[in-house]
Amino acid sequence: MSIEHSTGQSERDDPKNAAFRYQLEFLKLEFDAINKAIARIDDTTAKVKNWTMVAWAGGVALSLGHSELKRYILLTAIIPIPFYYVDAWWRRIQRSFIFRVNKISEFLNGECLQKSFHHQRLMIDFRVLDPRAKQHANTVEYELFTSVWRTMRFRELSVFYVGLALISAALWLSAVWLRW
């Protein structure tokens, strides 16, 4: 049963209420789209790591497989570096989606949602359909959260890419000291 307003319109027919419900529905769709984008970026970064392994292992195998190339094995330490940056860049993009999820969570779990229902409009400066949180792009909080330098320090990334470079350096030192 719908409530009649003083104008004779039911709550469902009220344009303000309809617009608010429409925004909330789009917020649900946005949340779903963000989660799918995060998953796609996870797949992309896994592929970057796979290509890193192929290129690095190929370089190491080539260097170790030919005696005249063994002295160049240290150069294989460079191979992971551009992949490291590409992976970190994708993680930066992913972090912008995660930032938005955090903002949606703050909205849904805070007083703003209750106030919004009471007033039948989004009560905070909260845009719908802003999956990468561009609304916050110029804030310090956003910049710190999505910084590529921050993502490069993620243990998952740094251990993998720096580890490959260190293995190359160790192989080179072994080749020099042991005179393979």
pLDDT tens per residue, range 55-93? 999 999 999 999 888 889 999 999 999 999 999 999 999
Residues 6+ apart with CB under 8 A from 97: 34, 37, 38, 41, 131, 132, 133
Number of domains in the chain: 1
Mean of the pLDDT values across residues 107-126? Answer: 79
Classify residue 95: in a domain, yes or no: yes
Classify residue 119: in a domain, yes or no: yes
Classify residue 1: in a domain, yes or no: no
Classify residue 73: in a domain, yes or no: yes
Classify residue 131: in a domain, yes or no: yes
Classify residue 159: in a domain, yes or no: yes
Classify residue 149: in a domain, yes or no: yes
Range of the domain at 104: 15-178
pTM for the whole thing?
A: 0.82
Classify residue 70: in a domain, yes or no: yes
User: Residue 83: which of 102, 106, 57 has the closest Cα?
Assistant: 57
